Structure 1
């Protein structure tokens, strides 16, 4: 770089604010009397002189910097630095930025021809004026440069270039008054107050700390007054940055889980097509002409194919329709993972998966990361597709406010959402567009998780087995809506009651528990199964809903009921003819015949007497027996004649007729033994045991009651006139 320039050379530079002709430069030199400054000399190299040369220090600062900037050069080698494990990232950045500035300054000194002091002074001025073309990150770190700082940096670099790395915050980090006050309790208290409510200002937090710790704080061995508000503001600013992850975990656990907590990449590894699906639901961030809808999404983790179903509300029926759509397009999976939503754990969903032989895995409550793949794809669908639709309402309340703000308050006041958000799509059109996006855009987009392959390529490259359902009608039966809450009903004489309507069953008898499904093609028809849903029993129809003649339907149902009942009761009727009125009685007697030979031991009895029973006995003794009339006397004689006479002497063959005994003969035998006892004749031990056991049995008591009743009635018969 030339330090002495002629008037023509100065004019050729065409510096901003300077004359661009030789005559103009000479006029400027004469006007400012450059020749008298000592920075003007005669040009050497020509005999007889060659005019004057002027030193660049005669230029105004702006023009001098513009001229010097022409000789500033930053080369690629200036950015080559060394790594170090001893320095932090910030220290490495500070070291590298200073080294780059030193290299550029050293090159400028070599090309300028000036001494080190003058060159550094001019370079510092160029750097301060922004004339040194270093990258922005260097300017961010090295904000100011002086000749003294350049000299100091050279000395440090000669000893150890790593000494240029500096982190100012590292040296003073944690040394502030509020950091050390009360052994760190003040800092923790202030952070706790902030975490409890992020809208508290530094003034609120300082007042709370003042109330907690007072106006004097202990800092090590010293006692210092409570710092002013500005100190609290600066400390809170640093703490929020130092403890940002911890504060986020406390104040917004969902955001912490989504953005900070480490997550495993590729945790859901699968090795084959349809090995595992994930299903989830979410409201669509767009409105249709039918209102805001919900979407269900299923994703095959192996191929990353997706299927979307648009539905009115989250229901088990919608889950079944999504699974049906996936089964027909992809085949049958081995496992489906869902959350614990009521639509996924509903009886209909569980029964459907069980009937198809598909295992269901539920994620833990409040753990969306356990099915993070489908969660992320739903977010992709909302951002990349739904945001382009008419009727888009934003992904959050803040987004919605931004969209609403496109119109002035007066323009949107009283305007319904359909006009405000330019709703134009119907539900059917939204479903068509969603299907197109899944098959034409997403399926042919390379995925990092698939090693830059597309879902379509991965699915087409699979050569293994794919289970499929060929009978679509059977699948429709399994997906048929369940009647009521759980589909379980009991058949009554009026039929099967569902939603206040009665369905007449064909071939299913009243009293039968059934599991009911609606025929999707006929509102008036039910399919009836066993309660476990595995055995088909028949149909039931509602004549009004099915458009049938009620009288004709009831006649058919009754005819079928009669045919079934007659078929099942034919064998019963045949057996019934063989039963007479004495069948059960005789079988009952035979069943308990073995108890006839069981005897009870005689029990000791004591006479029970009261004053009233003694008085009654006296009356009986004094009352004379009533004389029998001729008719009663004749009947008594007849009874006495029928009563066998018992000899006072026991006979040897008293038991020879035991095999021919009847209930009547056994009773007559007991009467004979009783008469002998009344006459004072002793019985043998065997006869006494038999009589005691017989008297305790029901047969004796029954015959005794009949005999006594007959005698009493005969006594009450009036005498013949």
Structure 2
């Protein structure tokens, strides 16, 4: 809208209260002392501002040059959020929005014309009624005319947050009192709604036939009178009204997912507990609404709830590896999160995903099955990416079935012309190019756009202003954790041929057979595997497949054997040295008997309770074993004399000395022989005799005599001598 005018331009405008000639405008400007400035450009002269003109002239000029206005977004949002707005009929909502649009136009009119509120409202009402104010057609259709007092009333309700009072519902007095609403005490209406819940595609004709079959050809009016079944037009009007007034209830009955998405109460500020970056992430996946040269792909999206930052990863198939690669991009870019929330998809609950989360130290939350509203932030982020970025890419196939029908029609037409359907769909991008455009869109568009959930700030601003500590990880360690596991779970048992992975044997010389390991494959070299303990907390080394690594198998086997031999030799060196020492010391049986003898002296055998047991056979055997009486022999006098002489000699000093003293080597050998014979007969030895015998048998003296004379069962040396 122009702000400065020459006298000629003012005259040509033909505004009220102003002369229609250039000379008259100049005289009026001089008389009323209008503000003026020298005109720039050729010709020079003076020009005057719009504010210098009379109020009527300013109002007329502003009314002519105002753009058609709609309801301001902030005003419309505030009106829709009022609790009373839910009960306002659709026709009344249109009346309310028309009045709000008029208020916005009146405020702009007063501001542009630089008029006071009362004077501006009077002039605005006149201009609107004369058609000089440009507004949308639906606004003028809803409100034909109004007075300044009505404008003041509308403005007061807008300030008070009571815009529902601007909704004029002309049919409110009649609504809900029709024959189908009240017939049979309301049972007819309930029956009709039940039929619609069973099948929303029922027409008014279907419903009328069903009502006739249920209630008959006559209905009971509220007054008690019987009235004929209404015509089809009445059913059409009633069904149309019910589908509006009972929209939420019917949606809950016929489309549960739509009800959860649009109407179910979700509350606000449900993530108020998130107060720092990386406190909570949400991740999810969805097919991307476009075709690449190698087919359709999927996108995995991670969003940081506090900053609303996004990470997008494009992949061919939805698998656990894709989740891990998404986490790699996010962790390297943002740091390690405390918690990640996902749904129950197989790629999110896979063992590989759980193992990576546990290894990095990330807590995992699972939303309830079939409850996308529990992770609404990432669901909306995916929708924003699909609409904001994918829609601009070549190969876009639409967001809905209707969009895809149009694409299919184009494809069929292209086929009829003998044209490649890919060319008709403009399929030109590879997955790598889509990933590049996705990253560029996130950095340049999404991160720089104000977000309502961030109080009008951008994700970049919130992330830059945060002062919380970011937990980072070593990229090489992270890549190792994300390396694919061997087979399904990565667990393998080392055998004498190494470990078997996908039909190939990987040689392991430094780990003993029978050991269970967790194997990760090297993405850059399929001939190499990294081995960890089953828990993943200890790195054990590498395993190599000679065929896949391009190594001479014989040389690799020889090297593995040499390493195994070295480790075995190192681990058994102490044991071999001890075994060699045992060959020069006491025999193992001697050590065992010494231990038994020591323990025998510590044990006491308490007497047991006994009772006599006998049988006829035992009694007969006992009788046979009883010694018989022997007749007393008759001793002659000569024998008695010899015995007396021998007794007298025995009382004298002995003239015969023992051949071997008990403490001599020969005596000890004889004692040992005697004790061994007693043991062989089953006799019990005393503790002292047992201890002495075990110690003596372990000595070299015993072994020497034994080597010379043999065991005690053979002829003793005394008898041999």
TM-score bin, normalised by smaller chain: 0.5 to 0.7
Deviation at 1:554, TM superposition (A): 1.1
- C-alpha spacing 1:373/1:502, structure 2 compared with 1 (3 Å): same
**For structure 1, which segment, 364-373 or 475-484, has the greater mean C-alpha deviation from structure 2 after superposition?**
364-373
C-alpha separation in 2, matches of 1:95 and 1:460: 42
Deviation at 1:262, TM superposition (A): 3.8
Deviation at 1:344, TM superposition (A): 1.9
TM-score of the pair, normalised by structure 1: 0.61
Deviation at 1:368, TM superposition (A): 2.0
- C-alpha spacing 1:164/1:475, structure 2 compared with 1 (3 Å): closer
1:391 equivalent in alignment to 2:395: yes
C-alpha separation in 2, matches of 1:468 and 1:488: 29
- C-alpha spacing 1:166/1:347, structure 2 compared with 1 (3 Å): closer
- The residue that corresponds to 2:261 in the other structure is 258
Where does 1:389-538 land on structure 2 (aligned, <5 Å)? 389-406=393-410, 409=413, 411=415, 417-469=421-473, 471-538=474-541
1:173 to 172, 175, 182: 175
**For structure 1, which segment, 575-584 or 544-553, has the greater mean C-alpha deviation from structure 2 after superposition?**
575-584
- C-alpha spacing 1:232/1:93, structure 2 compared with 1 (3 Å): closer
Q: What SS does the aligned partner of 2:298 have?
A: strand
- C-alpha spacing 1:509/1:327, structure 2 compared with 1 (3 Å): same
Runs of 5+ unmatched residues, structure 2: 1-62, 67-78, 100-130, 146-163, 625-671, 685-721
Contact 2:414 2:424 in 1 (8 A): no
Contact 2:411 2:421 in 1 (8 A): no
Deviation at 1:530, TM superposition (A): 0.8
Deviation at 1:441, TM superposition (A): 2.0
Deviation at 1:339, TM superposition (A): 2.0
1:378 to 368, 375, 382: 382
- The residue that corresponds to 1:249 in the other structure is 252
C-alpha separation in 1, matches of 2:434 and 2:92: 54
- The residue that corresponds to 2:128 in the other structure is none
C-alpha separation in 2, matches of 1:589 and 1:217: 113
- C-alpha spacing 1:131/1:181, structure 2 compared with 1 (3 Å): farther
Deviation at 1:661, TM superposition (A): 9.8
1:285 equivalent in alignment to 2:289: yes
Where does 1:2-81 land on structure 2 (aligned, <5 Å)? none
1:546 equivalent in alignment to 2:584: no
Deviation at 1:544, TM superposition (A): 0.6
- C-alpha spacing 1:537/1:172, structure 2 compared with 1 (3 Å): same
C-alpha separation in 2, matches of 1:383 and 1:94: 32
C-alpha separation in 2, matches of 1:354 and 1:363: 18
- C-alpha spacing 1:667/1:327, structure 2 compared with 1 (3 Å): closer
Contact 2:411 2:425 in 1 (8 A): no
C-alpha separation in 2, matches of 1:133 and 1:473: 65
C-alpha separation in 2, matches of 1:95 and 1:439: 40
Deviation at 1:354, TM superposition (A): 2.3
Where does 1:563-582 land on structure 2 (aligned, <5 Å)? 563-576=566-579, 578=582, 580=588
TM-score of the pair, normalised by structure 2: 0.61
Deviation at 1:516, TM superposition (A): 1.0
Deviations 1:524-583 (A, max 9, x none): 111111111010111111111111111111111111212222222333344555363576
Q: What SS does the aligned partner of 1:459 have?
A: helix
**For structure 1, which segment, 491-500 or 660-669, has the greater mean C-alpha deviation from structure 2 after superposition?**
660-669
Larger Rg: 1
Contact 1:404 1:420 in 2 (8 A): no
C-alpha separation in 2, matches of 1:505 and 1:205: 77
1:366 equivalent in alignment to 2:374: no
Where does 1:635-654 land on structure 2 (aligned, <5 Å)? none
Deviation at 1:225, TM superposition (A): 4.2
1:203 to 199, 202, 205: 205
C-alpha separation in 1, matches of 2:418 and 2:616: 102
- C-alpha spacing 1:96/1:666, structure 2 compared with 1 (3 Å): closer
Deviation at 1:278, TM superposition (A): 2.0
Runs of 5+ unmatched residues, structure 1: 1-72, 77-82, 99-129, 146-161, 610-616, 622-658, 672-721
Deviation at 1:517, TM superposition (A): 0.8
1:189 equivalent in alignment to 2:191: yes
Deviation at 1:88, TM superposition (A): 6.6
Provide the alpha-carbon RMSD of the alignment: 4.4
C-alpha separation in 1, matches of 2:307 and 2:351: 30
Deviation at 1:394, TM superposition (A): 0.9
Deviation at 1:367, TM superposition (A): 2.2
C-alpha separation in 1, matches of 2:207 and 2:439: 54
C-alpha separation in 2, matches of 1:343 and 1:301: 22
Q: What SS does the aligned partner of 1:538 have?
A: strand
Q: What SS does the aligned partner of 2:347 have?
A: coil
Contact 1:506 1:538 in 2 (8 A): no
C-alpha separation in 2, matches of 1:163 and 1:387: 41
- The residue that corresponds to 1:326 in the other structure is 330
Deviation at 1:302, TM superposition (A): 2.8
C-alpha separation in 1, matches of 2:370 and 2:604: 75
C-alpha separation in 1, matches of 2:352 and 2:178: 63
Deviation at 1:295, TM superposition (A): 0.9
Q: What SS does the aligned partner of 1:179 have?
A: helix
The aligned length equals: 501
